[in-house]
Amino acid sequence: MLIKQNIPLSELTTIKIGGIASVVITVTNINEMLGALEQVKASGLPYRVLGWGSNVIGHDEGFKGVIIVNKISDFEVLKEIEQGARIRAGAGESLDTVVARTVEMGLSGIEALSSIPGTIGAAPVQNAGAYGQEIGDHLETVEAIDTTTMETVLLSKEDCRFAYRDSVFKHNDRRYVITAVTLVLPRTSPQPPFYASLATYLDEHGITHYTPQVIRDAVIQIRKEKLPSPLLLPNAGSFFKNPIIEKGESDFLHINSPDAPAHVMADGRVKIPAGWLLEHAGLKGYSHKSLQTYEKNALVTINSGKATYQELDEFRTAIQVAVKNMYGIELEQEPEEL
């Protein structure tokens, strides 16, 4: 366990915004996590648990409490048969590393999550997904600490209550701290139909033989072209969620914008790509002080200098108002806030 004081939130988040965190505790195993949580509870200070901070935004006033950085690492093949395998990974493991290792084993199910910055333990919190796959699709259990009892618990997929960019972990006052994730992945070849942009890439490159590695390689290339690395350009990934609207709203949208892409969900509601809304509202490349939408993908917000949270608030509001005025759709921010 490593304890530091007065650390800038900009050093703990990939978008590099925020003031000072009073205390930062880095843990590398479950016993250290339990110890850190017990110390925090005894102190009465507020706290948050972070992985890479790749989907988090800090405030200018900082965090007057404790940030616990989860670096619990582990990768274990619990069971492997011809049809597939059960994989257990520590919450602090890189999500992309877990994807890479499962793909090397010939396993399918999470290859489309390649190159997403962050940890495997953070993925269930917002049911991380990309190109038609979500972590919840093949998750079997989540090991966590129940902070109300300080006991370790095992949560099933059903317990996690996965939805679009949502789960039980975002609610109940963050009752659960994830320590490990178990996945059940099949050893099968990915099959079409694929997510639209992935299908386009495969067609353009004449790829007709699909394996987990082929799909992983394709996704990595697509992301390189459309999504900047936070190591090079500070960002928090997709800044807005794809709005989900009622069918009547979708019908109205398509009267004026018949080319607007839409995905009909199981419950009859319709998901509209937020990136399309921003681009067609003329917001690709929009800038405000040190912030701008990425020139290759309007959905990504870039911190091109030393942006403050106040500037981000102004930037976000301007975009939301523009989209609301043009399409009547309200955009919701995807990254969480400290």
* Residue 334 annotated as catalytic: yes
Partners of 183 in the beta sheet? Answer: 87, 139
The one catalytic residue among 48, 88, 165, 216: 165
Q: How many CB atoms sit inside 10 A of residue 44's CB?
A: 7
Taking a C-beta distance cutoff of 8 angstroms, is the pair 51, 91 a contact? yes
Is 204 exposed, middle or buried, given 0-12, 13-18 or 19+ CB atoms closer than 10 A?
Answer: exposed
Q: Which amino acid is at 83?
A: Q
* Residue 290 annotated as catalytic: no
Q: Find, among 34, 178, 16, the residue nearest to 92 by Cα.
A: 178
Q: What is the CA radius of gyration of the chain?
A: 20
Cβ-Cβ contacts under 8 Å for 69 (sequence gap 6 or more) = 12, 24, 25, 26, 27, 49, 50, 51
Q: Which two tokens stand for residue 32?
A: 């250290």
Q: Find, among 133, 134, 122, the residue nearest to 14 by Cα.
A: 122
Is 233 exposed, middle or buried, given 0-12, 13-18 or 19+ CB atoms closer than 10 A?
Answer: middle
The one catalytic residue among 115, 167, 238, 250: 238
- Kind and range of the H or E element at 27? strand 20-27
Q: Which two tokens stand for residue 226?
A: 């459309």
| Cα 188–Cα 194–Cα 198 angle in degrees, nearest 5 | 115
Cα 268 to Cα 281: distance, rounded to the nearest angstrom: 26
* Residue 165 annotated as catalytic: yes
Cα 201 to Cα 189: distance, rounded to the nearest angstrom: 18
Cα 232 to Cα 67: distance, rounded to the nearest angstrom: 24
Q: Which amino acid is at 48?
A: R
The one catalytic residue among 140, 249, 334, 336: 334
* Residues catalogued as catalytic: 165, 238, 334
